[in-house]
Amino acid sequence: MSTTISKKTTCDAVTTYSLAAIDQLLKMDPSLDPDFLRAIIKPKREIVVEVPLRRDDGKYVTYQGYRVQHNDARGPFKGGLRYHPSVDVKEARTLAHLMSLKTAVVNIPYGGGKGGIAVDPKTLSIGELERLTRNFTNLIQHNIGPHTDIPAPDVNTNGQIMAWIVDEYSKRHGHCPGVITGKPIELGGSLGRDEATGRGVMYCTREAAKEKGVNLTKAKVVFQGFGNLASFGARLIEQELGATVIGLSSSQGAIYNKNGIDIDAAEVYYKKNRGLKGFKGGDFMTNDELLVQECDILIPSALEKAITLANASKVKAKILVEGANDCTEADADKVLEERGIFVVPDILANAGGVVVSYFEWVQNLDNHYWDLPQVRKELEKIMVAAYSKVSGLATEHHLSMRTAAYTVAIERIARAMMLRGM
Ligand code: GLU
Q: Which residues are catalytic?
A: 114
Interval 383-387 mean pLDDT: 98
Alpha-carbon gap, residue 170 to 141, rounded angstroms: 10
- DSSP for residue 328: B
Give residue 219's pLDDT.
98
Pocket test for ligand 1, best of 69, 83, 197, 327 (most atoms within 8 A of CB): 197
| Contact in structure between 105 and 413 (CB atoms under 8 Å) | no
Mean pLDDT taken over the chain: 96
Backbone angles phi, psi at 344, to 5 degrees: -95, 110
Burial class (CB in 10 A: 0-12, 13-18, 19+), 420: exposed
Q: Locate the ligand 1 atom nearest the alpha carbon of residue 80 and give its number.
A: 1
φ, ψ for residue 342, nearest 5 deg? -85, 120
Q: What is the pLDDT of residue 2?
A: 54
Burial of 338 (0-12, 13-18, 19+ CB in 10 A): exposed
- Residue 62 bridge partners (DSSP): 52
Closest CA to 348 of 314, 323, 378: 323
Asked if 343 and 315 count as a contact pair (C-beta separation under 8 A), the reply is no
Query: Would you say residue 419 has pLDDT above 70?
Result: yes
The tens digit of pLDDT for each residue in 79-118 reads 999 999 999 999 999 999 999 999 999 999 999 999 999 9
CB 45 within 8 A of CB 35: no
How far, in Å, CA of 153 to CA of 44, rounded?
22
Instruction: For residue 370, name the pLDDT band (cuts at 50, 70, 90).
Output: very high
Helix (H, G, I), strand (E, B) or coil at 343: strand
Topology (CATH) of 196-340: Rossmann fold (3.40.50)
| Buried/exposed code over 381-403 (b: 16+ C-beta within 10 A; e: otherwise) | ebbeebbebbbebbeeeebbbbb
d(CA 61, CA 63): 7
pLDDT in tens, 208-249: 999 999 999 999 999 999 989 999 999 999 999 999 999 999
| Measured distance CA(235)–CA(247) in Å, rounded | 12
Write out the DSSP string of 226-260.
Answer: -SHHHHHHHHHHHHTT--EEEEEEETTEEEE-TT-
pLDDT in tens, 255-306: 999 999 999 999 999 999 989 999 999 999 999 999 999 999 999 999 889 9
Report the separation in Å between the CA atom of 79 and the middle of ligand 1, taken as the mean of its atom positions: 5
How many other C-beta atoms are found inside a 10 Å radius of the C-beta of residue 96?
A: 30
- Domains 49-98+108-176 and 196-340 belong to one CATH topology: yes
Q: What is the pLDDT of residue 6?
A: 55
Where helices occur in 106-195 by DSSP H, the ranges are 126-140, 159-173
Judge whether residue 340 has pLDDT over 80. Answer: yes
| Ligand 1 binding residues, C-beta < 6 A | 78-80, 152, 154, 181, 325, 350, 353-354, 357
> What value, to the nearest 5°, has the Cα angle with vertex 312 and ends 321 and 247?
50
Ligand 1 pocket test: which of 99, 355, 375 has the largest number of ligand atoms within 8 Å of its C-beta? Answer: 99
Ligand 1 atom nearest residue 82's Cα: 1
In 3D, which of 184, 69, 116, 152 has the Cα closest to residue 353? 152
Classify 49-98+108-176 by CATH class: alpha beta
CB 165 within 8 A of CB 179: yes
Closest atom of ligand 1 to 95 CA is 4
Report the percent of the chain where pLDDT is more than 70.
97
CA of 98 to the centre of ligand 1 (A): 10
Distance 44 CA to ligand 1 centre (A): 19
Contact 92, 66 (CB under 8 A): yes
Rounded-to-integer distance, Cα 367 and Cα 184, Å: 15
pLDDT recorded at residue 391: 98
Ligand 1 nearest-atom number relative to CA 110: 9
Domain ranges of the chain: 1-42+400-422, 49-98+108-176, 196-340
Using DSSP, state whether 342 is helix, strand or coil. strand
User: Which pTM does this prediction carry?
Assistant: 0.96
The closest of 45, 30, 40 to 4, measured between CA atoms, is 40
Structural contact between residues 327 and 307, judged by C-beta atoms closer than 8 angstroms: yes
Q: Mention every residue, 6+ apart, whose C-beta is less than 8 A from residue 379.
A: 192, 196, 199, 200, 203, 352, 355, 356, 359
Candidate from 78, 232, 356, 357 with most ligand 1 atoms within 8 A of CB, to mutate? 357
Distance in Å, CA 350 to ligand 1 centroid = 9
